[in-house]
Amino acid sequence: MVAAMARNHSIVRSLLQAGADPNLGDEFASVYETAKEKNMHSLEDLPHPGADPLQVNDMGHKPEDYAREGELKKMLKEWKTKFQVEQKRRDLEERRRFPLEQRLKEHIVGQEGAIATVAAAIRRKENGWYDEEHPLVFLFLGSSGIGKTELAKQTARYLHKDVKKGFIRLDMSEFQEKHEVAKFIGSPPGYVGHEEGGQLTKKLKECPNAVVLFDEVDKAHPDVLTIMLQLFDEGRLTDGKGKTIECKDAIFIMTCNAGSDEIAQHALQLRQEAQEMNRHRLAENLDDIQIKEKITISKQFKENVIRPILKAHFRRDEFLGRINEIVYFLPFCRSELSQLVSKELNMWAKKAKQRHDITLLWDCEVMDVLTEG
């Protein structure tokens, strides 16, 4: 019967030739008919294999939304509560076995200081050690192409699995003019685009606890920064239609190139000092082979060099005051560049094998040339 309904004619012919009875019914019964026959509710067995009562359909509705008041509604609510408790327990166990730092390092080369800072802040939030009245706000500083955007993406992936709505990315270079503020939160009544809503408000409505990336925030118009200050300070945003979106559980990440040259120069100096120190340590103790090149941005550099640059650029202390963590991304050292080259070559080797059945091989000299750039 199934083969006939699916119009698989060759399978039907094969079954008939093998002696299948064309007059025999399939004895198929729906879940509702079986439940009625056994005097039980058709949903009672679903919680046991771990069916998710929080799943939404294409319309964005959960099973609970379709249930009438009464025994069924009560059962779905109890099921949802038990599922959430069990889900939290499983997530906690998974975090213990596979910490965030370890997950991030699988996708990001270097930037151990940045990874540690972000992971610590996320862990505090997960364990309840954060201000519930304000969203978590990061400012990522450093040159382009060293992992700022990727770290934001991987943080969203950790928090929201593979849910696309859980990561919102806005290119702030699109909001350089005063009139482009309307694209951010939506046009007021009477203006073109009023019904469409803003790019940010529309997406935050769909996922109020999303990870939001404001890419190259240093290019945004000052009026956009005013809206962002309200967002960071109050944890909510009013769109062009006058509707308020609560987003205190969201995580906001800004990337900025201001001070990137100073950070790169300071990191280079620190790296040279670390290498010199390692040489002295190695000369004094030849058995010490576990020496690592680990550098940390000094507090003095942050306060005396970077802070004035940020103040001059954003022109308001209250905006900087709402940032929970300023995260520094350092230029790659030679070993990290070598890891990046190896990762890229392996990716292309895999594609060459899959698409063209070509095996790519390379020696150390190729790695050295590519690493040197």
pLDDT(204) > 70: yes
Higher pLDDT, 194 or 161: 161
Lowest mean pLDDT among 39-43, 281-285, 334-338, 351-355: 39-43
Quickly state the pLDDT bin for 291 (edges 50, 70, 90).
Answer: very low
For the stretch 128-147, pLDDT in tens is: 888 888 899 999 999 888 89
Quickly state the pLDDT bin for 288 (edges 50, 70, 90).
Answer: very low
User: pLDDT over 90 for what percent of the chain?
Assistant: 24
Residue 103 lies in a domain: no
For the stretch 158-185, pLDDT in tens is: 888 878 889 999 999 988 888 777 777 7
Host H or E run for residue 222: helix 222-234
> Any idea what the CATH number is for the domain that residue 221 is in?
3.40.50.300
Residue 360 lies in a domain: yes
351 and 326 in one domain? no
Cα–Cα distance between 202 and 180 in angstroms, integer? 16
Residue with tokens 């790695």: 367
Cα–Cα distance between 214 and 171 in angstroms, integer? 6
How are beta strands 251-256 and 211-215 bridged, if at all?
Answer: parallel
Residue with tokens 């679903």: 46
Cα–Cα distance between 356 and 263 in angstroms, integer? 43
Res 145: pLDDT: 86
Res 75: pLDDT: 76
Distance set, CA 192 to CA 131, 198, 318 (Å): 38, 12, 33
152 and 257 in one domain? yes
349 and 269 in one domain? no
Res 54: pLDDT: 66
Residue 195 lies in a domain: yes
Residue 194 lies in a domain: yes
pLDDT(214) > 90: yes
Cα–Cα distance between 184 and 120 in angstroms, integer? 30
Residue 51 lies in a domain: no
Cα–Cα distance between 208 and 198 in angstroms, integer? 15
Res 311: pLDDT: 92
The domain of 214 spans: 127-285+296-330
Cα–Cα distance between 188 and 19 in angstroms, integer? 72
Domain count, the chain: 3
Sheet strands (E) in the chain: 136-141, 167-171, 211-215, 236-238, 244-246, 251-256, 325-328
